[in-house]
Amino acid sequence: MRNSGTDMRETGEKKDKNKLKLIGLTVLAVVLLVSVVAAFWNWVDLQKKPLEGTKRQFDASLDFVKTIATIAGGVVLFLNFRVAKESVEVAQKKLEQETEKAKNDAKLAEARLTMERFSKAVDMMGSDKSIHLRLGGI
């Protein structure tokens, strides 16, 4: 069995990891939002004065938004894979523990059955009722 201090420390580490993930996703969302707002702002400028320089600036900001969105998608996928990996590891540990428990339970059941049979045989050998009962105990 694990020590409760170890469990508490692992829970604290898990909370810290979750906080870091949340902070990272928040920063990424803010950057994406700022880049979308900047692209929109450039689009408004393009509508007011459709010059070649404004169009290039809009295209550049649109490319920046695409790049940030691609990076955000990659980060989200990476975090999803990490969470899935951690879930699989937890499930494997649980399966190993359940398998070990089942093996121990089987050994215990076998030991009980052997002890019951031995006790029954001793009772039968000590019986005064019949010789056949004694021979059955042997």
Which pLDDT score, from 0 to 100, does residue 129 have?
Answer: 75
Query: Alpha-carbon Rg of the chain, whole angstroms?
Result: 35
Q: Is the pTM of this model over 0.75?
A: no
For residue 32, give the nearest of 56, 78, 64 by alpha carbon: 64
The total number of structural domains in the chain stands at 1
Q: How far is CA 85 from CA 13, 57, 80, 124, in A?
A: 17, 42, 9, 58
| Domain of 26, in residue numbers | 4-137
Residue with token string 């089987």 = 106
pLDDT one digit per residue (tens) for the chain, 138 residues: 445 555 555 566 667 777 777 777 787 777 777 777 777 766 666 666 667 776 777 777 778 778 877 887 888 788 888 888 888 999 999 999 999 999 999 999 999 998 888 887 777 777 777 766 666 666
Which pLDDT score, from 0 to 100, does residue 19 have?
Answer: 75
